[in-house]
Structures are given as C-alpha cells and as structure tokens.
Amino acid sequence: MSGARPGAAEIARRVAARETSAEAVTREHLDHIARRDAGLDAFLAVTADRALAQARRVDATLAAGGPAGPLAGVPVAVKDLLDIEGTVTTCGSRILEGYRPPFTATAVARLEAAGAIVIGKTNMDEFAMGSSTENSAYKVTRNPWDRTRVPGGSSGGSAVAVSTGMAALALGTDTGGSIRQPAALCGVVGLKPTYGRVSRYGVVAFASSLDQVGPLGRTVEDVALAASAICGVDTADATSAPVDVPDFRAALSAGAAGLRIGVPWSFLESGVDAGVMAAFRQSLADFEAAGARTVEVALPHAPHAVATYYIVATAEASSNLARFDGVRYGLRVPGSDLRHMYGETRDRGFGAEVKRRIILGTFVLSAGYYDAYYLRAQQVRTLIRRDFEGAFRACDVVAMPTTPTPAFRLGEKTADPLQMYLEDIFTVPANLAGIPGLSLPGGFVGGLPVGVQLLGRPFDETTLLRLGHAYQQRTDHHKKQPPETDSRD
C-alpha cells in the first residue's frame, strides 16, 4: 500500500477479492498511526488487539466462503463519545475517568456488522463543545496541513485521522457543525445526516435535539458506503426515524444534471474571508460545469442562527450533563457531604468551556428568563426551519462555504469564546432545522484546505451525495494529501 493511500471502497474491494487480508490492512494502518500520529495527536486510544481480532474474524468468514460485508476490512476511527463495550469512553473529559461502557453504540455496531475494523478512539473537544479540538482535557490535536493551526472541532481527531490516511473512515458527531467544520479544515468529506437518520444510542449526549452521528471519508463514495451502513431506525433510540435507507452508493451515478443549487447570497455578504469566497465561487462554477444550475434563495433568519444555537444547545447541555455527579461512574472527588462531593467533582472534572456552557444553559432555563431566552430561541429555530422549507421550493440543495475562514492558529480564539462561536455561522442552521449537510473539499487558501457545503431536504442525503460525487469527478481537491512531516521540521 505504498504511494496514495486507498480509500474505504478500494480497501473493501481488495479484501473481498482476497487480494489482501483484513489483518494485513489493519496492521498497515496501525503501523501508520504509530509513525504519523506523533505531533498530530488525533487518537486518544488505539485499540490494536481488538482491531486485529476483528480483522481475523473477517478473514475467517471470507476463507470459509462467507459473504464479504460492504466495508470488509476497512479501518475506522471512532470519536471518543461513541461507546464501545469494554473500551474506555472519555468524551475528552476528566469527569469520565475510567468509564468503560457495558454496551456499544448502534452506529459502531452497524459498521462492524458491515465488516469494518475499529482501530481507535479519536480526540475531541470536551463533550463535543468546541470548534478547534483545543478543549480536550488530554491533548491538543493539530492540523496536518499546518501544525500551528487547528483541525477544527469538535470531531477534529476523526478529521485528522482520515486526512492523513491513519483511518479510511471515521465517525464523528455534529451538533452545530462538528463533522462538517473539521472536514473542511482538514480537506476531507463530512456528512451530517438528517436528525433521526442515525441512531444516537450509545452516544454520550451534548444537546439531544441537535446531536447527529455521521461519517468522514476521503471521497463521497466512501462516505456513501458508511452512511448506508449506519443509517436506519433503531428501537433503542426513540428519536430515530422509521425511514427506509436507500443504497446511497448506487445513487451516485445519477450525476448533477438538472439539479438546482440555491445560494443565499445576502447571508454571505460579510464576514467571509476573500479567499474562501473565491474558492466557493469556483465550486459553483464546477457544479454548473457538471450540469447543475444556480439560483438565488433567501434565508432571512439565518444570521440569528448562532445566537439561537447557543441558547438551545447550552440549555440541553445543562440538563444532559447533570448526570455527571461522581455518584454512579467516572471521577469522584471526596467531600464532606453529598453537596460538597458534587461540587468538587464537577469543578475538577469539567473544563472551562463545558462549565461556561452549563452556566449559560442553567441561566436561560431559570425562572424569569425561560420565556425571554429559551422559548424565544425555539421560536426563531422554527423560523429558520421555515426559511429552508421556502428555499427548497426553488432549489434542490442550498450551497454555502462550510466555514468563513481557513483553519485559524492554535490559541488564536481561545481567549474570545464569541469569536470561536462565530466559526459555526454556516453550519449551525442545518442542525437547528434538522436537515442533512455535506462538506466537500472545495479548494485551498494559502495552502490550507477549505470546504463547500451542501444542505438538503430532510432525509434527502441521496441528492447531496449524488451532487457531491459529480463535483469530485471534475475536481481533484480531495486527492491532495497533507505533508508527511511538519514543514517546520
């Protein structure tokens, strides 16, 4: 496997054809992690023994004439808030110290049932609260294109693992852009499915009405393969939708001809880096060359999305994180009484950003402020969803940059949370509306990758993937790989 590293589809084809073995592929990827992750810190844990045991089972099935799963032998990295039975889950936080869940997240189990090999757990912003993977309690993950810059967040470790070929696929979660934003900043493909499309069972909750599991890969084809595996109703998750799952990969060949791409130009008037905007305009030209056409649409309430999101998300986080109290699992700091133990445990176990969001969420839910903040935010959320419903009457997908800037420098925004939050301006509307979003490698600005984002109707991931695949047939941004070593070395 020298030269360009194969993607998920190619690995699965080779393993199924017995051109190589799942064990050989797994060992090669584990060796690559050992060489490549130093200085990047994408992984919190590498599950080598478990991965090799899985790989041997795949090989034994094939040797006995059994069927090859659609992801046979494909190495997958998993964001460390998806549970795997017996494997430590940290959520990037000290408060879950030593926690080994007794079950496996449905999305992970479905990947493994398709033949995928989980090779490790990836670093993340603590409890998925951040846009840079600087908020992890354990380490800071660096962008492989420039190690002085962030990889995005909160699924930064997963994006780096895919970008560098340490994993062929990865799972992340997207509450306000946490798959799409790091995918854009690391030059890979990231899909946030429709809310309810993928089970959240076994996923540690941040904001339950916003969280969604999704895949990251080098190509749209790879992401489509993963999406077909993980999507579908799950009786263990009451919010999973009983909607049929199409063969996303088979639909890719339909092409872009006749599709209408809506562009909310008034939403993009200010705050976007000039280089990012130039790359976006070129992407639109590439879509048109593939047979699509662009129309202008309006999203009048989208400018209020960040403010709305940081009320809804923090309120739900305040509620969800109340369970981490030192009583049942994770960190426990002794105290003179129960109240003191609660306080000491949460004070030492949570980082600054998590504490900030818990405090904000508790405030907006408090008596006297609920109507003024939380209720009003839910009303604006409805208006944002209606904006998209109106836009989709004139187009099939909505396009915009994934992020307003390329990757920023490590430490550049940590002292100013508001500036960090504004990095999510183009991603949070999809979460509030519950619609699917796809980030594609959309070019380079100053040597750094940037993304173009496609948003679709609820449960219409097929159109996003179809259009994204057509785009990748005409562009080569996704074929470029980050340097093997730090340019400063």
pLDDT over 70 (residue 173): yes
Could you give the angle at the alpha carbon of 359 between the alpha carbons of 354 and 360, nearest 5°? 100
The span from the CA of 139 to the CA of 444, in Å, is 27
Q: CATH 3.90.1300.10: does it fit domain 8-301+382-479?
A: yes
Residue of 93, 155, 178, 318 with catalytic role: 178
Domain boundaries, the chain: 8-301+382-479
Q: How many helices (H) and strands (E) does the chain have?
A: 15, 11
DSSP assignment, residue 409? B
Beta strands in 278-359 (DSSP E): 293-296
The span from the CA of 234 to the CA of 200, in Å, is 9
Report if pTM > 0.75.
yes
Q: For residue 68, give both structure tokens.
A: 């090859």
Could you give the angle at the alpha carbon of 199 between the alpha carbons of 143 and 461, nearest 5°? 70
Element (H, E) at 287: helix 274-289
Residue 13 is predicted with a pLDDT of 98
The span from the CA of 318 to the CA of 434, in Å, is 21
Q: CB burial class (10 A; 0-12, 13-18, 19+) of residue 264?
A: buried
178 tagged catalytic: yes
Looking at the chain, how many residues does it have?
Answer: 489
The span from the CA of 212 to the CA of 317, in Å, is 15
pLDDT band at 2 (very low <50, low <70, confident <90, very high): very low
Contacts of 337 (CB under 8 A, 6+ apart): none
pLDDT digits (tens, 9 = 90+) for 326-346: 998 899 999 999 999 999 999
Question: Do residues 452 and 283 lie in contact, with contact meaning Cβ atoms separated by under 8 Å?
Answer: yes
Specify which residues 286 forms β-bridges with. none
Q: How far is CA 204 from CA 76, 159, 213, 239, 282, in A?
A: 19, 19, 11, 15, 39
Question: Do residues 197 and 243 lie in contact, with contact meaning Cβ atoms separated by under 8 Å?
Answer: yes
Q: Cβ atoms within 10 A of the Cβ of 172, count?
A: 33
pLDDT band at 182 (very low <50, low <70, confident <90, very high): very high
pLDDT digits (tens, 9 = 90+) for 198-209: 999 999 999 999
pLDDT band at 489 (very low <50, low <70, confident <90, very high): very low
Residue 1 is predicted with a pLDDT of 37
154 tagged catalytic: yes
Residue of 132, 154, 158, 228 with catalytic role: 154
Helix (H, G, I), strand (E, B) or coil at 353: helix
Residue 217 CA to its chain's centroid (Å): 10
Q: CB burial class (10 A; 0-12, 13-18, 19+) of residue 251?
A: middle
